[in-house]
Structure 1
C-alpha cells in the first residue's frame, strides 16, 4: 500500500470515532466494513471474547462475500480450546501477519482450506483496560498485506476499542437510567399505597380492640385468642407501613429527629429484657448509666431491628448479646452498641448490598427495608451502622453514635 492512502486512512479513522454509541453489533459491523474498504480486504472481523463459553465471537464483520461464507460455515465462532492464529493472538497479545497462510501448520484447516484465506493480519483488541478480543483482516490472495498495514491495523484496533468501549458505557448508562426510573416509580407508588393504608389502620385497630373487650367480657376464649392474633398481625402491618413512610420522608427530606437526653444503658438494658425469651436469651453488657443526646424512639427502632434479625437467625438456645461501650476518637468520644448472634452468618455475596433497600437474605420475609432504614437513622444522628463481622459462628452489627453531653 502506497503513501497515497494516508488521507483516506485518516478519514476512515475519523469516521470510526464518529460512529454513534448505539448497539454494539451494528457499530462493529460498520467499523469492519470501513476497515475492509480501506485495506481492500475481502473480510474483516472484530472478535470479542465470550467468557461464558470461552469463545472468540465475530461480533462485527464486514459485509463481504467471504464474511458471509465464514458465517455459513460456523467459523465466526472460535473456541479457545481449538487453537488457531486468532486464539494465539488473543492469548499472547502479539500481532500476527502472514502472506502464505496455507503453509502455516498453526492455523485452523477451516480457515485455510474451506475459506481459502491466504493473507492475514491479526492484532489484539483493547477495550477499556484489558484485551477483549482480536481485530482480524483477511484476503484470499497471497502476500497481499505489508508490515505497514500491520502497524496501521494496530492503531485502528485502539480506535475500534475506544468506539466499542463508548458503546458499552452508553448501554450501561441507559440500563442504569431505566432501572433508576423504574425504581423511583415503584418507590413513589409504594409510598402512596402506604399513606392510603395508614388511613385505615386506626379504625381497624379500634374494631379489634372492641372485639377483644367483647370476647373477654363474654369469656369466649377462642375469640380472645383470635382477636389477639389479629392484633399482633395489625402491629406487624403497622410497623411495615411506618417503615415505608419513614423511607419516603427520608427520600423527600421531610424526616426529622427529636433529640433529647437519653440513658442509652437503660434503653438497651430494657430492650434486652423485653426481647429475651426462654428459647433465645438476650444478654446485656455495659455501664450502669450512659447519657447522650439522641432521639430515643429512633435509636430504639434501629436496635429493635438489629435484635429482631439476630433472634430470627439464632439457633434455639443460643443467646443474642448486646454490648455498650464508649470509644475515644480524635474528634471526641463516641458510643458503640454491638448486637451479636450465633447464627450461620451472612452470605458473602450479600454483604455489599446488605444496607440497600429491598435487599433480603435467602429465606427472609418482608420488603427488605429494615437495615436500609436502620443505617439511614444512624446517619441522621451523625453516626454509622456496619457489619463488623460475619462468619459461620455468627454476625455482629455495630451502631456507633457521637457521645453528646446533655
Structure 2
C-alpha cells in the first residue's frame, strides 16, 4: 500500500495546483477569449442584419467571460496569499479608479457619483479594487433597465470609525429572502453566470479587512450594495 501523503505535502500540492490553474486562467483562457472578441469585431462589416444579432451575443458573452476570468484570478490570489499585510488604503483613489474603469467598459450604462468621495484611509490591501469592481459590474450586468443606472456614494462616520460605500442601481433588486445567500460560495442569487463567485470574493475580502457588506432594497426600484470598512489609524 502506498504511503499516504502527509498534510503539509498535500497542502503544498494543492497550492501548486491552484497556482497552475490561476496561470492558465490569467493567460491561456483569457487570451483566447480576447482573440474571440477581436475577431467578432472584425466581422461587423461582413454579416447581415440577422447576423448582427448573433454577433452581439458573441461579443456580450465574451466580455462576460473575460470579466469572470478576472474575478477567478482575484479569488485565486486571495486563496494563495499567506498572511497578507493590511495597511491604510486611500478609499477615494481606489473607488474613483474603479468607477472610471467600469464606466469605460459599459458605455451603455449611466454612472452618477454623489458628491466627492471622502479622503479617508481604510484598513485594506491592494485587493480592495476588486471589491468595488465586482459590485459595480454586477450593478450593470444584472440590470434589466435601459439604460442601466448606477449611483455611487461614500461617507465617513467618525464616531464609528468607519467609511461606508453605497452602490445603488435601478435593476430588478434582490428579494429579501435571498439577500444573504447571494454572498455564499457558488450561489447564483442574481440568476446570472459569475454572480455567485464575484459576490463571494467581495464578502471574503471585506471580512478580511474587518468590515461588512450587505444588500438592501432601493427606492423606488433596484438594489443597494453597501460596504462598510474600518478607518485606518493615524
Normalization by structure 1: what TM-score? 0.42
CA shift, 1:395, in A, is 0.7
Residue by residue, what CA displacement relative to the aligned partner does 1:348-402 show, whole Å, maximum 9, x if unpaired? Answer: 3322312211111253112722212211211111111112335771111111111
Q: 1:345–1:391: 8 Å Cα contact kept in structure 2?
A: no
Residue by residue, what CA displacement relative to the aligned partner does 1:131-165 show, whole Å, maximum 9, x if unpaired? Answer: xxxxxxxxxxxxxxxxxxxxxxxxxxxxxxxxxxx
Alignment of 1:160-309 (within 5 A): 194-200=18-24, 201-202=26-27, 221=42, 235-236=66-67, 238-246=69-77, 248-249=79-80, 254=82, 256-262=84-90, 264-276=91-103, 277-287=106-116, 289-295=118-124, 297-309=126-138
Say whether residues 1:358 and 2:165 are aligned partners.
no
C-alpha RMSD over aligned residues: 3.9
SS in 2 for 1:369: helix
SS in 2 for 1:279: coil
Distance 1:233 1:338 in 2: 23
Q: 1:194–1:241: 8 Å Cα contact kept in structure 2?
A: no
User: Which structure ranks higher in relative contact order (CA pairs < 8 Å, sequence separation ≥ 6)?
Assistant: 2
Give the length in aligned residue pairs. 202
SS in 2 for 1:322: strand
Point out where structure 2 has 5 or more consecutive residues left out of the alignment.
1-13, 44-58
SS in 1 for 2:128: helix
Q: Which has the larger radius of gyration?
A: 1
Distance 2:198 2:32 in 1: 28
Normalization by structure 2: what TM-score? 0.67
Alignment of 1:6-405 (within 5 A): 194-200=18-24, 201-202=26-27, 221=42, 235-236=66-67, 238-246=69-77, 248-249=79-80, 254=82, 256-262=84-90, 264-276=91-103, 277-287=106-116, 289-295=118-124, 297-314=126-143, 315-329=145-159, 332-361=160-189, 363-366=191-194, 368-389=196-217, 393-405=221-233
Distance 1:209 1:372 in 2: 25
